[in-house]
Amino acid sequence: MIETKGFGDFPVSQDELTGLADRAALEEHLDSLFGSYADSDFDDRLQFAILCIDLDGFKQFNEKYGRAEGDLVLKLVADRLQTCMRKNDVVYRIDGDEFAVVLLQVTANEVASVADRIIGSVSQPYDLTNADSAAITVTIGAALAPRDGDTPESLLWCGDAALYIAKKAGKGIYRRYSERRSS
């Protein structure tokens, strides 16, 4: 595990393959964010969001092209995710083909805009070493704090629930948890 300077004064553990912050860093970051808002009121300018991101059909991709090509695509996806972010947003690889993004000081409309940008970028074809090119889509579920979750655990649960709803609706799409509750 690689340790680097992190959010505030604590180190951030990183995923060895992509160099992104990992699940432990995500949990620590969310704890820190909720802790900083504990004594103040949230308003639209202080909201933050979690995007739960899953590559569609990645198991089949690995079976077709092999693990080495799969690892290459994970690295390229990580790069593309980072190019879609604003200055203070953070991308995480949390497991296998699952990623997460924390968007700071964000509105619901900005969350949708970032999600659309991610879907467009990640869905572009990838140049592979052992094949010409291949494409993969991404599905995203989002939750906003404190509207959808007021603890790290509840926010992550809502983001995962939104991802599950999005996956049931199709591939290469985005759903927000609040949209699920209002339908």
- Report the catalytic residues: 97
Pairing of the two strands 138-145 and 48-55: antiparallel
Angle of helix 67-83 versus helix 108-122 axis, rounded to 10: 140
C-beta contacts of 124-128 below 8 A and 24+ residues apart: 124/80, 126/72, 126/73, 126/76, 128/65, 128/69, 128/72, 128/73
How far from the centroid of its chain's Cα atoms is residue 54's Cα? 8
